[in-house]
Amino acid sequence: MRIAIASDHAAVALKAELREYLIELGHEVADLGPETADRVDYPDYGYKLASVVADGTAEYGVALCGSGIGISIAVNRNPACRCALVSEPLSAALAREHNDANCIAMGARLTGIDMAKACLDAFLSTEFGGGRHAGRVEKLSTPAL
């Protein structure tokens, strides 16, 4: 799979570890930055991640910041992206199965490396369930009234 990963300064170390983990699993990984722990603004990296997922350059995205909240909001500003903030494998699997999430967000200050890897494994190994969920997912990309 082609996976893009991006973070803010608070999650640079987690991003580096997850990038290497994904490569070890055989995935093609695009690291969208940042490269250092110098202060940056998470929306810039969330928007960049959303752009490459929306245009098909990457099949999935991994968004990381201190809490995971801010960068997930930034990614979700793009109507082609469905970014789920997760903290354990069940929420990661349900994000794929029920919501057809194409991005996953985690907080480096809240999620350890082993749990983050478990979330990634669950997310990447779960297929969208379709069926009764398909119409709801379609509504997520339609402007609200």
Catalytic status, residue 133:
no
Q: How close are the terminal C-alpha atoms of the chain, in Å? A: 36
Per annotation, catalytic residue among 9, 27, 65, 81:
65
Catalytic status, residue 98:
yes
Phi, psi of 38, rounded to the nearest 5 degrees: -65, 140
Phi, psi of 31, rounded to the nearest 5 degrees: -90, 110
Residue at 139: amino acid letter? K
How far is residue 139's CA from residue 136's CA, in Å, rounded to a whole number?
5
Per annotation, catalytic residue among 9, 81, 98, 119:
98
Residues with active-site annotation: 65, 98
